[in-house]
Structure 1
């Protein structure tokens, strides 16, 4: 049985999970189609607040991903919901971000503005490639004047086909430094976005590439998670965190696999002393990673490879030196 047999919904992250920049992950289209074919609810849950759901849907379809606009959940929508809950209808909200974010604020009955004035009651900050010193300074003025500050997300970086670029969290950090204030975060790793995406389902599975947002967000929402290694987080990151998912795999194609993806001890890999391969056939480095994660809290400090198979598997994982 695959994970698609165990869950009634899959909450897919986008950047680093379904695509990297303008490049689709090779196994993504088949994985999403398989979920649809098995009548598993599909949601595309993104911390990126720069685009409207229909724009995200268009991009996914252009990439060959079967997606409906209604399946897209963004941190802009989650931030607008938080603003609606906290602010009076009709209030002026300073938007630092794209017009798509401003539209979400307008959709919940608030008035988006682009410059500070004394009656601004909120600041909503999301990613935009056009944000600069002037925009951030307007936010600082409003927050210092008492406006409620909501950040769509706090991702420090944005994964693209060129590498890691500046994310919304890096610009949030600049405003934090200038105001000595902390925002309400609507997107992952906080729970509002995940809970909204999972609404109407009974046993959802979150799939993402970032431990600090996707996996932590799933844990905060009480949802099982699968970490894929196609984006930001690495095997070493997984070993060094306490925010571990239930499952780990190379990419989203593993959703249709019958392999055991759960982080648990594996009899083919001995990690109680030096790492040794005890199985038959070709060793699976990811099975070793899962075993190492399961045993990490009681592993010896001088853990090392005991045979060539273990040395190769560690090298493939980028873990030549574990400690």
Structure 2
């Protein structure tokens, strides 16, 4: 079977990449199991499916595993039922938290919550929302109060179009973790990462797919490739999206195979 990254492998921004639709059709024709595994946490699988269909990619919701969906897995994110949570991200991100049973609190005043969920950078009111999240973190940790820190999408950036990238949720969490390391260096506090390269999302993907050793196709070394290799899977670096433009032998992480593009 195959695990397929979405952005940078199947599509770039809002267009399907060459060879993506043909690959999915070939896998279906051959009866080969496949699953899209994405760090996206801003839109629900059913919303993503409609967006994929709009660019010619037939991917039903049940073939999509997002990092946001892992919020509802107590074995990965802990039990969020009844937990007040501040969620960085758009409406879809808040829906993921609500589906996990969390009580999503609004960004206002001296907001208090037992969990801080960094899901996505979309709809972020900069810097106000991040300032409120930071203030919540400082108040609770200074008081010795518990605060669950969850990061859905560990990616630092994502491809918008050729030659253009943008920061994502992982970069926001990295800023907050920099404050934590400086203010409480002895505590070893950090975000629990749900998406790639976390082992958890690969384990869930394998169970969903019913395969013990599927092959991962991705464009990001630090998340797709390193995560798959760490989970004991083979990994194909696809040379689109954010794939590094350097010789394979000099890459900091060595993929099992390298493919210039899905159209190659």
TM-score (norm. length: structure 2): 0.86
Which range moved further: 121-130 or 69-78?
Answer: 121-130
**What is the aligned counterpart of 1:249 among 232, 242, 259?**
259
Displacement of 1:159 in angstroms is 0.3
Query: What's 1:298 paired with?
Result: none
Aligned residue pair count: 245
Distance 2:21 2:217 in 1: 14
Displacement of 1:85 in angstroms is 4.7
Aligned residues: CA RMSD: 2.0
- Give per-residue Cα distances to partners, 1:150-185, cap 9 Å, x unaligned: 111221111011511112222122222233342111
Displacement of 1:48 in angstroms is 1.6
Closer, same or farther in 2 for the Cα pair 1:28/1:71, shift >3 Å? same
Q: How does 1:50-89 map to 2 (within 5 A)?
A: 50-81=42-73, 85-87=77-79, 89=81
Does structure 1 residue 189 correspond to structure 2 residue 194?
A: no
Does structure 1 residue 172 correspond to structure 2 residue 165?
A: no
Are the aligned partners of 1:82 and 1:186 in contact in 2 as well (CA < 8 Å)? no
Query: What's 2:250 paired with?
Result: 240
Query: What's 1:142 paired with?
Result: 136
Distance 1:35 1:94 in 2: 40
Does structure 1 residue 129 correspond to structure 2 residue 122?
A: yes
Are the aligned partners of 1:143 and 1:149 in contact in 2 as well (CA < 8 Å)? no
Query: What's 1:272 paired with?
Result: none
**Which one has a bigger Cα radius of gyration?**
1
Look up the SS of the partner of 1:40 in the other structure: coil
Closer, same or farther in 2 for the Cα pair 1:148/1:207, shift >3 Å? same
Displacement of 1:86 in angstroms is 2.3
**What is the aligned counterpart of 1:104 among 78, 96, 121?**
96
Gaps of 5+ in 2: 141-145, 182-188
Distance 1:84 1:189 in 2: 13
Displacement of 1:13 in angstroms is 0.3
Displacement of 1:130 in angstroms is 1.9
Look up the SS of the partner of 2:179 in the other structure: helix
Displacement of 1:84 in angstroms is 7.2
Displacement of 1:142 in angstroms is 2.7
Are the aligned partners of 1:49 and 1:126 in contact in 2 as well (CA < 8 Å)? yes
Closer, same or farther in 2 for the Cα pair 1:105/1:88, shift >3 Å? closer
Are the aligned partners of 2:4 and 2:37 in contact in 1 as well (CA < 8 Å)? yes
Which range moved further: 194-203 or 97-106?
Answer: 194-203
Look up the SS of the partner of 1:236 in the other structure: coil
Are the aligned partners of 1:84 and 1:109 in contact in 2 as well (CA < 8 Å)? no
Displacement of 1:143 in angstroms is 2.5
Query: What's 1:37 paired with?
Result: 29
Closer, same or farther in 2 for the Cα pair 1:88/1:231, shift >3 Å? closer
Displacement of 1:188 in angstroms is 0.6
TM-score (norm. length: structure 1): 0.71
- Give per-residue Cα distances to partners, 1:274-316, cap 9 Å, x unaligned: xxxxxxxxxxxxxxxxxxxxxxxxxxxxxxxxxxxxxxxxxxx
Are the aligned partners of 2:111 and 2:132 in contact in 1 as well (CA < 8 Å)? no
Displacement of 1:141 in angstroms is 2.5
Distance 1:83 1:15 in 2: 27
Are the aligned partners of 1:94 and 1:122 in contact in 2 as well (CA < 8 Å)? yes
Distance 1:210 1:88 in 2: 30
Greater RCO structure (CA 8 Å; 6+ sep): 2
Does structure 1 residue 210 correspond to structure 2 residue 204?
A: no
Gaps of 5+ in 1: 1-8, 255-323
